[in-house]
Amino acid sequence: MKRLVSFMVTVLILVLAMALGYALAKWGGPPRGEAGRSGSIASAVSTVETVPIRWGKIFQSSTAYGTVVANPRLEQSLSVAFASRVLKLYVVRGQRVRPHQPLLRIQASPAERLKLAEAKNLLHLAAVQLRLTEAKRRLEFATESDVVTARNALVAASLRLAALRRLGIGPPMIVRAPEEAIVLATPAVPGRLEPRGAVLLDVLPMHATQVKLSVLPLEARQLRLGQKVDISVAAPGGAIRQPGTISLIASRVDPDSGFVAVYVTPAKPRLLLIGQYASGRFHIASRVGLIVPHSAVLPDGGKEIMYTVRNFHAVLHDVRIGLSNHREVEVSAPGLHAGEPVVVVGNAELANGVPVQPVASSAASGGDAANAAPTSNQAGKQGNQP
């Protein structure tokens, strides 16, 4: 009996102790977790990086690829106006030559040299005939008309011989480079007899290289002659970049590639070598509007969103995307204004209305850097103007 009473007293004491502890925890002190909740609220203020929304001009750019080629309108074919034999060839295909540098040595064919000999002989005979006719005239065995005829024959023979010599028929001659150029082809073969007018060498002036780009038909329709292009050519020490201008846009689509050929004249063609792979970056559209960096826009279930900061709170915007380039994008939405800070770092963790601490981004939007040419610096300066 004593054991039962002792057990019941112990249970009663435990129940009273638990009830007292519960009462103290609920009414006798601060709510449970109050300090922790205060700390979480304090830590909920996110630090974000922002840049101001810019009002200006944005250029949408595209890149096309191709090779360095010769300008066919400036190629030069070297030939002579008489049948000849190539005695020696001094250059090879692809060689760069200086002005007046020897290219090949040729000699007129036997038939052409025979024509020269006949012309010389005809001139000698005409001179002798004129002297004889003048002597007869003095003896009155010839008329004045006979003298005039003999003189005309001498003049004709002299002109014939001079014409053959102007063509180059005579001793072996050296064909020289007309200017600084590149040897494109050497059709001439030493020892072979070449007909009159046959091409002996094809050369290209150093200033006559250009870049042939393969452009999508839809983009080619938006290009114009004289438009600026930023050319980049691969090189062992790094890409060679220089500006260029569009000189020709083909009016047909290549059936094999499906692209349109666009020819670009570089500012410094001497830096390019025929056959090099090249790329060209050019503007295909431009528009004036509100511009933000790409990092400011986030995808959200088939739409794009963006956060701005007002009164140290994040404001959610559903935005429409316009033109874009490799760095910036055009946006539009109700309530957006130029100069308003937009979140570019930390926006993925935000929600509408949460408190934030904005900090100016070190990678500010900067119209100069964003719109700077894919073509030229002047295009970037235009991007800063509203």
For the residues 207-220, what does the mean pLDDT come to?
92
pLDDT digits (tens, 9 = 90+) for 38-79: 344 444 788 999 999 999 998 888 899 999 999 888 888 999
**Highest-pLDDT range among 18-27, 37-46, 215-224:** 215-224
Residues 6 or more apart whose CB falls under 8 angstroms from that of 158 comprise 123, 126
| Least-confidence region, from 19-33, 38-52, 160-174, 281-295 | 19-33
CA dihedral 363, 366, 369, 371 (to 10 degrees): 140
Amino acid 39: pLDDT: 42
The b/e string for 329-347 (b: 16+ C-beta within 10 A; e otherwise) is: bbbeeeebeeebbbbbbbb
**Residue 162 — very low, low, confident or very high, per pLDDT cuts 50/70/90?**
very high
For the residues 297-309, what does the mean pLDDT come to?
92
Contact 45, 314 (CB under 8 A): no
pLDDT digits (tens, 9 = 90+) for 335-360: 898 999 999 998 888 899 999 999 98
DSSP state of 294: G
Amino acid 382: pLDDT: 35
Strand partners, 147: none
Fold of the 45-73+206-386 domain: Elongation Factor Tu (Ef-tu); domain 3 (2.40.30)
Map residue 374 onto helix, strand or coil: coil
Question: Which helix (H) or strand (E) element contains residue 183?
Answer: strand 181-185
Amino acid 335: pLDDT: 87
Q: Would you kindly state where each structural domain of the chain is located, as residue ranges?
A: 45-73+206-386, 80-199
Q: Which residue has the tokens 């956060």?
A: 307
Averaged pLDDT score across all residues of the chain: 84
Amino acid 325: pLDDT: 82
Question: Which helix (H) or strand (E) element contains residue 271?
Answer: none
For the residues 261-288, what does the mean pLDDT come to?
91
Q: How many whole angstroms separate alpha carbon 345 and alpha carbon 358? A: 10
